[in-house]
A = this chain, B = another copy of it.
């Protein structure tokens, strides 16, 4: 079958590889229908995650059709149309039981990481019963792909961890797909003000359409000043970091108000400075989280009820066989005005 294979730092190829088979009774084999590319995939290809083995099929998002289900799989059978969660969940270990399947003893984020992933014609899904979701009949398939990772990521790591409340002022730093997912889902809790901060005006334009009440281009170095002006000097109730660098985490510290929450979503490659000499007395909460995908059912229900339009995050479509072109487009998101790309396995 065709698959996008990591071939070491800077290298990836569309290759013919062996079609996977079931290994455990609780596995399912899924024929991919649609997948996408995540910012994390770009990091892997660059070589930023050296623990990933050369030869790995990438990808941890997508939808497909069950081709075969193991004897221990009770909820799905051949022909079922399914959403693949980026988090594989055994449902049995201590971390799964306490609501942290991102740190599942045998699962977690393993697709396209520790085992072969979804940017392929077929994928083996361990613990299928607890790692797949049935797709309703009249669902928009493109929209479903957004539920594999970025919507739960924005919602869980940003909005829920940020403890957004009605009437709050929320600032989202970074208007990429995940930041915009946080922007969309933060509206579940009716914050009065939703500020979005980014370096690119085109992304900020999208943010306005998706519900930002004010946007700030931070390239002039005056973001703090502007946020303070918008909040009467009080700072924000919730700052959601959706970039993953020291400067943006620093910005969160500069704009957070007394009693506020800083919810980190960004994947950080280096340590940051925490200004405890200022924050120790400010009654601040800082959270980190690898998405647990425990809200996938809820988000699915919300999409089906028409309250979320995740396909607004999709800018480009490709055939799976054109995945290298799709990587180019997504890898130059600024120039291409790209948010999420959809790859279809015809």
Contacts and interface: CB of A to CB of B under 8 A. Distances in A.
Interface of A: 24-26, 71-72, 74-75, 90-92, 94-95, 97-98, 100, 102-103, 129-130, 166-167, 187-190, 192-193, 244, 249, 258-259, 264, 266-277, 279-290, 292, 294, 297-299, 301-302, 305, 307
Residue with the greatest number of chain B CB neighbours at <10 A, chosen from A269, A277, A292: A277
Given A167-B301, A280-B244, A71 B74 contact: no
15 contacts: A25-B72, A91-B91, A91-B92, A97-B297, A98-B259, A166-B189, A166-B298, A167-B301, A188-B189, A193-B305, A264-B276, A267-B280, A268-B276, A269-B277, A283-B290
A97 B85 CA distance: 15
A168 to B, nearest CB: 9
Q: Give me the 7 closest cross-chain CB pairs, A-B, nearest first.
A: A72-B72, A192-B305, A268-B276, A188-B190, A274-B274, A281-B290, A91-B91
A259 B301 contact: no
Contacts of A189: 166, 188-190
A285 B283 contact: no
Contacts of A98: 259
Contacts of A71: 25, 71-72
B268 A280 contact: yes
A271 B270 contact: no
Given A74-B92, A167-B301, A264-B276, A103 B307 contact: no
A119 to B, nearest CB: 22
What's the number of copies of this chain in the assembled complex?
Answer: 4
Q: Please classify the interface of chain A as helix (H, G, I), strand (E, B), loop, or mixed, using the class held by over half of its residues.
A: loop
B192 A72 contact: no
Residue with the greatest number of chain B CB neighbours at <10 A, chosen from A190, A280, A288: A280
A302 to B, nearest CB: 5
Contacts of A92: 74-75, 91, 129-130
A287 B261 CA distance: 9
Contacts of A282: 288, 290
Nearest to A296: B97
A80 to B, nearest CB: 14
A193 B166 CA distance: 19
Contacts of A269: 277
Nearest to A300: B167
A270 B277 contact: yes
Contacts of A285: 285-287
A277 B289 CA distance: 12
A303 to B, nearest CB: 10
B302 A167 contact: yes
B280 A284 contact: no
Nearest to A130: B92
Contacts of A130: 91-92
Nearest to A286: B286
A39 to B, nearest CB: 13
B277 A283 contact: no
